[in-house]
Amino acid sequence: MISSSTAFLHGAGHLSRFLEKWHELLTGMDRQTDGPITVVHMGGSHVQAGRIGWAFRNQLLSDFPGLVIGRGIQPPYRLTGTNGPPERGWTSSSEWTRASCAHRRHEGEWGLTGIEAQCIAPEDITCWSGDPAGELCCPSFRVFNRPETHGAWRPTSAVQSEAVKHACGIVEWKAESGNFLPDTMKLTPAQGGPVTLHGVEWIPQDADLVYHDIGANGGHSASWLRNPHFSAQLSAISPDLVILAFGINDAHMAVNRFDPSRFKRHYRALLDTIRGANPGADILLVTNNDSHYRSRHNPNAERVRAAMKELVQTERVACWDLYGQLGGKGSIDRLRQSGFAAEDRLHMRRDGYVLIGELLYGTLVRSAAEVPPLSP
């Protein structure tokens, strides 16, 4: 049975900075800081599918229709022939290949998105962001890439010259005076020869919240440690909350191969990297959904949950026990029978990911009312 209790959020006090801002947003209180609340949700294929973040943003907009909610970075998943959110699109006449930090044999200069689209002889790229979820007025647009490639791409749709160049490979473009940018943008390569691209982002005007959902199929806790520009780009994004949901891939192995000590070591290294980039960010770990490995129940989910609870105590992070909230051991079979989980008893179907996004949203909403505010 799926529960709605906040008892599945451990270490909620370690989210106090985020929850105080979240509470102000939900109650309509005057915000104490300028700019949107920023969430970066990272994980493997569950997150790359895009339905968890989509459900979170749309549930928030449904409950609070006046809010302006940014969709966050749009990695070039579909440009390179892999799955991604269906409402986000890419087209190009050129042939693109993908380098992902989740693949040990791939090489690239990844940043925050963990994916690099690569092309030998590029032509124009068209990208769009449909089903806007409150993203109605966007005066600016960002391109994410390697730091040395600031001039590699130019948007050709109603933009001025670039307004901001970050040393970490992010370039922001502004709309022509008095205008807003369309939801379909064309990127033109500045010159011939090999090029790369990490992602794009439409920046809404006066956004209340921006939710970045960034995943890589097969991504695990050590994947983003391979990214030379991850820390610098995360610092530029400056999230209030970082959600880490890699455990399903860390634990998809035989029981005798899973090493809790190695698991915690990888997470501690990632936590150190995140805090080095953004000391003020709160961090939320997410336990695995129940799953099978080689057609049998995978007990490593319980071991991941135990390891994450230890990290709550030692590393000042919070942990959302998705495993417990979905019903614990055996819940993947019930979820499959009800149409939420896929036949492999590892992944979810669309409605399963939507359910997870709505449960995460509900957990954070209830927690905002229950966790005491920070002392002045």
Instruction: Indicate the pairing of strand 199-203 with strand 296-297.
Output: unpaired
Closest CA to 241 of 12, 45, 50: 12
Out of 41-50, 168-177, 247-256, 302-311, which region has the weakest mean confidence (pLDDT)?
247-256
How many angstroms separate the CA atoms of 125 and 112, rounded?
21
For residue 48, name the pLDDT band (cuts at 50, 70, 90): very high
Instruction: Report percent pLDDT > 90 for the chain.
Output: 65
Residues 286, 43 contacting (CB under 8 angstroms): yes
What is the pTM for the complete model shown?
0.94
Q: Which contiguous run of DSSP H or E holds residue 139?
A: none
Q: Please give the full DSSP string across 326-337, using - where no structure is assigned.
A: TTSTTHHHHHHH
Domain with CATH 2.60.120 in the chain: 73-205
Q: Which residue has the tokens 């962001």?
A: 129
Mean pLDDT confidence for 24-49: 87
Q: Is the dihedral of CA 4, 6, 7, 10 positive or negative?
A: positive
Q: Which letter, b or e, does each residue of 115-126 get, where b requires 16 or more Cβ atoms within 10 Å of its Cβ? A: bbbbbeebeebe
Of 258, 262, 228, 223, the residue nearest 244 (C-alpha): 223
Which CATH number, 3.40.140, 3.40.50, 1.20.120, 2.60.120, labels domain 73-205? 2.60.120
pLDDT tens-place string over residues 269-285: 999 999 999 999 999 99
Q: What is the mean pLDDT of residues 219-244?
A: 94
Cβ distance 259 to 217 under 8 Å? no
Range with lowest mean pLDDT among 34-38, 109-113, 152-156, 370-374: 370-374
Domain 1-67+208-376 in CATH: superfamily?
SGNH hydrolase (3.40.50.1110)
- Mean pLDDT, rounded, of the chain: 89
